[in-house]
Amino acid sequence: MKATAKAHTNIALIKYWGKRDESLILPMNNSLSLTLDGFHTTTTVEFQEGLEKDTFSLNSVGAEGVELERVSVFLDLIRSQYDIGPIHAQVQSTNTVPTAAGFASSASGFAALAAAATRALGLELDDTELSRLTRQGSGSACRSVYGGFVEWQMGERADGMDSYAVQVAPANYWDVRMAGVVLSDKMKKVSSREGMKRTVDTSPFYNAWVDSIAPDLAGIKDGIREQNFEKVGEIAEANCLKMHATTLGAVPPFTYWLDSTMAVMQTVRSMRDAGVPAYFTIDAGPNVKVLYLPENEEAVHTTLRNIPGVADVILSRTGQGITYL
Ligand code: PMV
């Protein structure tokens, strides 16, 4: 009744932005990500007879409130989907990056939780089923079941059975790297859930976003197949800008960007002008992730660290999918 799983986070190059079903977490568009080895969560789940409720600790600190509730609601889903009955669990997680730094800790978190909980219960899920289940904890987490380049296929069905991730290329296929640029200034957060909903419901740019996905996806998959770094980077950066453009059209309008976010974007463009191929992407927060090649690691690291407002730069290689410890 006890198991431990490790999952890495992932950063989307083609973003998931908008749900067609809020409760099953079914997206409006396919997305494509890179799994990163620098950011991971290891989770142990132990189901025990006699526990009155689930407990959760993160980096050895007991969690209460919304954090505990998100874990417990997800375990409820597993208990009901697999007819488990009322047995509760102790959940212990460790994260390698500060949860608040905004590096998709929910992706590695839910992937590790889904894997450890189902393994602890003796359920033998294949990767597809594990991805489908993980999706219902946090959408982007369904991609963290796999390493390397991963596509979340939105599916068409209303029950979500065909909405799960598949691997496009494994972690060792291509040594591209990503720098996570942590900004010192934190702005008040519009959660990804709230941001997506407001955008889908009110932004006149939303349909244009959805229409742009198929060509972006086809192009980036060609780029990955050809290992054409410029092609992949250009498409990823433009896709991110389109996603963020939809938020400016929402009512009321909002943006995740800070001054320092734009300073990093501008520096990345200047690096390119100076001959260093590097491309940025940004999720539902102010921090920036920069895609680069190994031979430029030192130049990229030094340049990013020296931008005013940058608190930290965390370098990462491509990461593996779920492993059981
Ligand atoms: O899975 P969520 O609810 O954390 O949403 C993730 C949304 C983005 O990070 C902005 C894009 C993505 O595909 O990861």
**Of 51-55, 105-109, 201-205, minimum mean pLDDT range:** 105-109
Task: For residue 3, report the distance from its CA to the centre of ligand 1, in Å.
Answer: 27
- Note whether residue 324 is domain-resident: no
pLDDT score of 20 = 98
Helix 127-135 to helix 105-120 angle, to the nearest 10 degrees? 120
pLDDT score of 297 = 98
Same domain for 187 and 165, yes or no, is no
Question: Region 140-162: what's the mean pLDDT?
Answer: 98
Pairing of strands 55-58, 88-95: parallel
Same domain for 161 and 34, yes or no, is yes
Same domain for 12 and 152, yes or no, is yes
Confidence of residue 73 (pLDDT cuts 50, 70, 90): very high
- Note whether residue 19 is domain-resident: yes
Residues with Cβ < 8 Å from 124, sequence gap 6 or more? none
Task: Tell me if 12 CB under 6 Å of ligand 1.
Answer: yes
Same domain for 156 and 290, yes or no, is no
pLDDT score of 131 = 98
Same domain for 184 and 156, yes or no, is no
pLDDT score of 104 = 65
CATH number, domain of 223, equals: 3.30.70.890
Cα separation of 281 and 190, whole Å?
Answer: 18
pLDDT at residue 271 above 60?
yes
Same domain for 144 and 182, yes or no, is no
pLDDT digits (tens, 9 = 90+) for 279-323: 999 999 999 999 999 999 999 999 999 999 999 999 999 999 999
Task: Tell me if 143 CB under 6 Å of ligand 1.
Answer: no
Cα separation of 42 and 280, whole Å?
Answer: 28
Task: Tell me if 165 CB under 6 Å of ligand 1.
Answer: no
Question: Region 107-112: what's the mean pLDDT?
Answer: 96
Confidence of residue 105 (pLDDT cuts 50, 70, 90): confident
Task: Tell me if 199 CB under 6 Å of ligand 1.
Answer: no
Same domain for 29 and 152, yes or no, is yes
Task: Tell me if 16 CB under 6 Å of ligand 1.
Answer: yes
Task: Tell me if 106 CB under 6 Å of ligand 1.
Answer: yes
pLDDT score of 186 = 72
Task: For residue 1, report the distance from its CA to the centre of ligand 1, in Å.
Answer: 31
pLDDT score of 101 = 55
Burial-class residue 58 by CB neighbours within 10 Å (0-12, 13-18, 19+).
buried
Domain that holds residue 99: 2-173
Task: For residue 110, report the distance from its CA to the centre of ligand 1, in Å.
Answer: 13
Same domain for 239 and 155, yes or no, is no
State which of 137, 156, 173 marks the end of a domain. 173
pLDDT score of 189 = 80
Q: Atom 10 of ligand 1 has which residue's CA nearest to it?
A: 283
State which of 131, 148, 173 marks the end of a domain. 173
State which of 173, 198, 223 marks the end of a domain. 173
Cα separation of 195 and 13, whole Å?
Answer: 18
CATH number, domain of 59, equals: 3.30.230.10
pLDDT score of 185 = 72
Same domain for 157 and 169, yes or no, is yes
Task: For residue 323, report the distance from its CA to the centre of ligand 1, in Å.
Answer: 22
pLDDT digits (tens, 9 = 90+) for 167-219: 999 999 999 999 999 997 777 789 999 999 999 999 999 999 999 999 999 99
Same domain for 159 and 239, yes or no, is no
pLDDT at residue 96 above 90?
no
Number of domains in the chain: 2
Same domain for 17 and 118, yes or no, is yes
pLDDT at residue 143 above 90?
yes
pLDDT score of 99 = 54
Task: For residue 64, report the distance from its CA to the centre of ligand 1, in Å.
Answer: 24
Which numbered atom of ligand 1 lies nearest the CA of 106? 4
Residue 260's Cα: distance from chain center in Å? 22
- Note whether residue 325 is domain-resident: no
- Note whether residue 48 is domain-resident: yes
